[in-house]
Amino acid sequence: MKMVFRWFGENDDSVTLNEIKQIPGMTGVVSALQDIPVGEVWPQEKIKELKNEINQAGLELKVIESVNIHEDIKLGLKSRDKYIENYKKTLKNLAAEGIKVVCYNFMPVFDWLRSDLAQELEDGSTTMAYDESWINSTDPVKLVEEFDENSEGFSLPGWEPERLAELKGIMEQYEDISEKDLLSNLKYFLEAVMPTCEENDIKMAVHPDDPPWPIYGLPRVVTGKENLRTILEMVDNPYNGLTLCSGSLGSNPANDVPALIREFGSRVHFSHVRNLNFDGKGKFHETSHLSTDGSLDLFEIMKAYYDSGFDGYLRPDHGRMIWGEKARPGYGLYDRALGATYINGLWEAITKMDS
């Protein structure tokens, strides 16, 4: 396991590379060129600059989160081929700078979704929460506006305010797209990029839908065991793999996260580890990583990774806001650093118990 930390770049993150470097056991960061519009080619020179900046801080850049997929690819429009060609060029440029894994998602229109970015917990910390009934009774445009207002001045990936104008139109385009269509559009995309991945030794790692069920009538297909199996089997190539996110998949209690890790282990190229508490049907809030704070058992999750021989990249995922920190929701320094240390502790104990 190689422990990494998400970093949004010096202009868009309150956390610095030096701070990240001081977290025990941290080997690198996962990052992205935030300014390149979806669908355009990432220039190698810019990737190199980002990598050099990270390397100068004594950290590696081996994983990109995310190279987003243009909506035309998800919709299966004719224009998708142009965007797929661009994606392939980006993959080549990334591989030339030593990138090994690309995280992406295939969620129509929205990326991850929460109903509250700062729900107060008993100890005075704040966390992100989800309540399906609130989501269903809230207009998506209003929701994006609220997200923008409450995000401490950071633009949340997938929630850029400039998308607001197009939101309704894009949602309408999905009216005729079934889950089957979406899966087949994913297959088309993956089949097209696999040769580039093989030639350049760079792996694709699809991130689960968050939450892992359809929202606003939009189809979602990276949701649980059956779909994950279908996605891996329909393009049965080791370069087609997963970002296994415990918090996304785990927000549906039907998903047994350790069992998923055990089943798909060799195809998990990147791992997101976080915890959450089930508050009822379609309702949950994120917690500290500690098993006793949430509904997921982090020991069982790390044990499943260990037993599967996992040697990929893993990062602590969303943290609460603690100790008065003001940061991008979910992505402050303190609680994620605690999470990394806890995960490292579990890993050391599991490893030593086995020797």
User: Which residue, 31 or 291, is less far from ligand DNO as judged by CB?
Assistant: 31
**9 lines the binding site for ligand DNO (CB under 6 A):** no
**330 lines the binding site for ligand DNO (CB under 6 A):** yes
Annotated active-site residue 272? The verdict is: yes
User: Which residue, 150 or 351, is less far from ligand DNO as judged by CB?
Assistant: 150
What are the angstrom distances between the C-alpha of 317 and each of 7, 246, 330? 12, 9, 8
CA distance 284 to 276: 7
Task: Kindly state the smallest distance separating residue 352's Cβ from ligand DNO, in Å.
Answer: 31
User: Which residue, 37 or 309, is less far from ligand DNO as judged by CB?
Assistant: 37
Task: Kindly state the smallest distance separating residue 269's Cβ from ligand DNO, in Å.
Answer: 13
Of 37-45, 97-105, 131-139, 160-168, the window that binds ligand DNO (rule: CB under 6 A) is 97-105
What lies within 8 Å, CB to CB, of 326 at 6+ separation is 14, 152, 332
Annotated active-site residue 289? The verdict is: no
**How many CB atoms are located within 10 Å of the residue 67 CB?**
20
What lies within 8 Å, CB to CB, of 171 at 6+ separation is 109, 140, 216, 218
User: Which residue, 88 or 336, is less far from ligand DNO as judged by CB?
Assistant: 336
Write down the residue that tokens 């949004």 correspond to: 8
Among 43, 98, 157, 214, binds ligand DNO (CB under 6 A): 157
3-state secondary structure of 86: helix
Sign of the CA dihedral with 34 first, then 341, 304, and 300 last: negative
DSSP E strands, 182-299 = 203-207, 240-245, 268-273, 275-280, 283-287
**70 lines the binding site for ligand DNO (CB under 6 A):** no
Of 33-41, 99-107, 219-227, 283-291, the window that binds ligand DNO (rule: CB under 6 A) is 99-107
Annotated active-site residue 104? The verdict is: no
Catalytic residues, by residue number, are: 207, 245, 272, 317-318, 331
Question: Where does this chain bind ligand DNO (CB under 6 A)?
Answer: 65-66, 103-105, 111-112, 157-158, 207, 272, 318, 330
